[in-house]
Amino acid sequence: MQLELQLSSEAPSTGSPGTVRPGGRTARTRAAVRDAVLAGLVEHGYPGLTVEYVAEHSGVHKTTLYRRWGGVEGLVTDALDFAGEDSWTPPDTGSLQGDLRALAREVVDAFGDPANAAAPTAFIAAAFQSPRAADALHRFYSERFARCAPLAARAVERGEAPAGTDSGAVARAVSAPLFLRLFITREPIDADIADQAADAVLAAVRAGVYAPPA
Amino acid sequence: MQLELQLSSEAPSTGSPGTVRPGGRTARTRAAVRDAVLAGLVEHGYPGLTVEYVAEHSGVHKTTLYRRWGGVEGLVTDALDFAGEDSWTPPDTGSLQGDLRALAREVVDAFGDPANAAAPTAFIAAAFQSPRAADALHRFYSERFARCAPLAARAVERGEAPAGTDSGAVARAVSAPLFLRLFITREPIDADIADQAADAVLAAVRAGVYAPPA
């Protein structure tokens, strides 16, 4: 499950509050502000992030930031909401095992490289200190896991999973052992750990653990 | 997997650096300091924890704290090492499913009550900001998961698990979906979620996911 937080200045083309037009001036401002928020979180962490820092690094005036985002919590929350506006879809490899392994490998790819991992890690850390950041993180992952419905539907169609298999529970289960190692037990992750996580979920799916009782 | 951080003044009776004698004056000092560190982490979080706070709340002089613990990072690290010196053993219910479900329920019990959850949550948060706290958290869980070896050994003996089943991987897998919901996706956990986590691991164990290839 990739927590993709691109540090480019690309803005998503989907509408969002305050957007004048897709790719327009307001969207560019929002992208610049988001980039500054990510840079600040990575550099100083949530406790050290200030509106002043964001103003300086985005070129957007402090009074504009306060008016549109309210303050640091609003800035962090919007940056995370913004990250959720991408076009990510779950892997479609032709088999449930392939899809689950690809999903797990995405977590390894996203967090295995410290440069990629810095921004999502900073968001996960911020959620410990800001209830609004925690809500935004919750929204991000809920929406992302909801996108995994086709993965389970395809598996059911192919006869690889029982009818009614809960795609959200499956997607959470695949990523869980990797996030545990990254942020709780503080252990490395690699492709073997990813495959084991995927194969464990495959066995549980086959056993009907994620489907309603027959 | 219970991250048991009792806020009582009980000191573990096992030897530890600086302990004069089990239950003696030095052990009592360490327990008082540990309690003050936990209270400070819960109240202010790692960024707001100071040696002054710990001195005031433990009754131990600041110069003693600096001399014995070096500073805030050393205090947090030792509090976590101290928590690992308990006598926790994994559940022994007579069946692998029972043991796995009991293990998962321990996480729900430990984190379901906000009062119990505050201290371990504060440690997990501190690990994002302090490499030494991250190391201590890693040590804590490594040692705790290592204690789960008898759980897997009993299952192998009873013919419920393939020979060579990796008890550490099993214990991590049981707690992973619960920790994911608690600290990444920020979703509630309950007994049903715990049972699902346990049953998923049971299916994976039976399928040989945690055992070497036959």
Position B6 pLDDT exceeds 80: no
Residue A2: per-residue pLDDT: 53
Average pLDDT of span A151-165: 98
Percent of chain A with pLDDT strictly greater than 90: 75
Q: How far apart are CA B180 and CA B158, in angstroms?
A: 31
Residue A95: per-residue pLDDT: 98
Position B19 pLDDT exceeds 50: no
Mean pLDDT of chain A: 89
Residues from B in contact with A at Cβ < 8 Å: 45, 47-48, 121, 124-125, 127-129, 134-135, 137-138, 141-142, 145, 169, 172-173, 175-177, 179-181, 183-187, 196-197, 199-201, 203-204, 206-207, 209-210
Question: For the segment B123-154, what is each residue's pLDDT rounded down to a tens digit?
Answer: 999 999 999 999 999 999 999 999 999 999 99
Residue B21: per-residue pLDDT: 52
Residue B11: per-residue pLDDT: 42
Residue A212: per-residue pLDDT: 94
Residues of chain A contacting residue B127, judged by C-beta atoms under 8 Å apart: 183, 186
Position A49 pLDDT exceeds 70: yes
Inspect the interface and report whether the beta carbons of B142 and A185 lie closer than 8 Å: yes
Average pLDDT of span B155-176: 98
Position B94 pLDDT exceeds 80: yes
Residue A47: per-residue pLDDT: 85
Mean pLDDT of chain B: 89
Question: For the segment A93-139, what is each residue's pLDDT rounded down to a tens digit?
Answer: 999 999 999 999 999 999 988 888 988 999 999 999 999 999 999 99
Position B194 pLDDT exceeds 90: yes
Instruction: Give the A:B interface size as CB pairs under 8 Å.
Output: 127
Residue A27: per-residue pLDDT: 84
Residue A1: per-residue pLDDT: 42
Most confident of A3-12, A200-209, B34-43: A200-209
Residue B2: per-residue pLDDT: 53
Residues of chain A contacting residue B186, judged by C-beta atoms under 8 Å apart: 127, 134-135, 137-138, 141
Question: For the segment B53-90, what is each residue's pLDDT rounded down to a tens digit?
Answer: 999 999 999 999 999 999 999 999 999 999 888 899 99
Q: Contacts by A80-83 with C-beta closer than 8 Å and gap 24+?
A: A80/A123, A80/A133, A80/A136, A80/A137, A80/A139, A80/A140, A81/A16, A81/A136, A81/A139, A81/A140, A82/A12, A82/A16, A82/A30, A82/A31, A82/A34, A83/A3, A83/A4, A83/A5, A83/A6, A83/A34, A83/A123, A83/A140
Domain B26-84 is found in CATH 1.10.10.60:
yes
Residue of higher predicted confidence among B2 and B127: B127
CATH class of the domain whose range is A96-206: mainly alpha
Residues from A in contact with B at Cβ < 8 Å: 45, 47-48, 121, 124-125, 127-129, 134-135, 137-138, 141-142, 145, 169, 172-173, 175-177, 179-181, 183-187, 196-197, 199-201, 203-204, 206-207, 209-210
Fold of B96-207: Tetracycline Repressor; domain 2 (1.10.357)
Q: Which of A74-78, A120-124, B113-117, B150-154 has the lowest mean pLDDT?
A: B113-117
Residue A92: per-residue pLDDT: 97
Q: How far apart are CA B169 and CA A174, in angstroms?
A: 14
Indicate the pLDDT class of residue B14, thresholds 50, 70 and 90.
very low
Position A7 pLDDT exceeds 50: no
Annotated domain spans of chain A = 96-206
Residue B22: per-residue pLDDT: 54
Position B121 pLDDT exceeds 70: yes
Q: How far apart are CA B174 and CA B193, in angstroms?
A: 11
Percent of chain B with pLDDT strictly greater than 70: 89
By Cβ distance, the residue of A47, A176, A187 closest to B47 is A47
Q: Contacts by A113-121 with C-beta closer than 8 Å and gap 24+?
A: A118/A42, A119/A5, A119/A7, A119/A38, A119/A41, A119/A42, A120/A3, A120/A5, A121/A182, A121/A183, A121/B128
Position A183 pLDDT exceeds 50: yes
